[in-house]
Amino acid sequence: MSKLLARAGIPALAILALAGCGSSNSSSTSSTASSVKPGTNTVDATIAGQVPSAIKSKGTLTVASEAQYAPNEFIAPDGHTIVGMDADLTTALGEVMGLKVKLINSNFETIIPGLAAGRYDIGASSFTDTKEREKTVDFVDYFNAGISFYAKAAANPGVTGLADLCGKTVAVEKGTVEQEESQAQSKKCSKEGKKGVNVLTYPGQDAVNLAISSGRAEVGLADSPVVAYQIKQANGQFKLVGKTYAFAPYGLAIPRSSGMTKPIAAALAKLIENGTYTRILQKWGLQAGAISTPKINGATS
């Protein structure tokens, strides 16, 4: 969906000034590792046996993630390590399957095409599982999130829902569901004889935050756990506005031809069963979005 660069104990806007810690104009940047401690989970022989030989012989899962969306995925203060819920979860999934995980910091909008082209084995970047995206890749659903509105703390944009965006300037990340929602609402506004929505799209969530803090945009849209985290980390500079809506599943995106969908779903079920999944969500304060059973291609819209 979208992303922010922040870390517990460090103001979000201060971190935005760090050089080299967001997405670039290229399809991917440096390879990095998760912060999760290796060896937390033992290999499950049955699940590992489901891994296709091509992946098993390689021994490594290449996972693409745009690391600008704390607490789901972001860059650690060392400037290169990808950390967050998705990094920890994919590392744990790899352990269950007997595979190492190589995380690649990639541009969000290029990840699904990259999966289809065989450049990555998994996309773990807060993807909302949608029926449209399921036309290209499979999803293993692992979390539930909604869409939230946020603005500068001193502002009063008068937004309680999508219908209130008519005539407003909105900042969203390019290629996200939030962009689709804002642009669809703009068409509705025009049909009703109202001013459309001025949708400002940016290549990463960092730029979305800057657009709001600088006043270029009146309101921003992003995933509910990310907005909540940003507000918490921004030392009173942002606030939640309106009502969170459109709760839907996050899914790990997987190339359909890879044969990895079923083993990943089985590995996720194992992590839920042994408590690792819950511990990861607790670590990042994301328990509210927990699921009890993984689903394959469980898009609701």
CATH superfamily ID and name for 12-145+248-295: Periplasmic binding protein-like II (3.40.190.10)
Query: Do residues 199 and 183 make contact, with C-beta atoms less than 8 angstroms apart?
Result: yes
The pLDDT value given to residue 36? 56
Per-residue pLDDT of 85-142, as tens digits, reads 999 999 999 999 999 999 999 999 999 999 999 999 999 999 999 999 999 999 999 9
The list of the chain residues with pLDDT below 50 reads 1-28
Strand, helix or coil at 232?
helix
Q: What is the dihedral of CA 272, 274, 277, 278, to 10 degrees?
A: 100
The pLDDT value given to residue 189? 98
The pLDDT value given to residue 21? 29
Residue 281, token pair as written in the block: 């969500």
Residue 63, token pair as written in the block: 């996972």
The pLDDT value given to residue 237? 94
For tokens 């891994």, name the residue: 51
The CATH number corresponding to 147-247 among 3.40.190.10, 1.10.3720.10, 3.40.50.2300, 1.10.1670.10 equals 3.40.190.10
Domain borders along the chain are 12-145+248-295, 147-247
**CA dist., res. 67 & res. 33, Å (int):** 12
H or E element at residue 242: strand 238-254
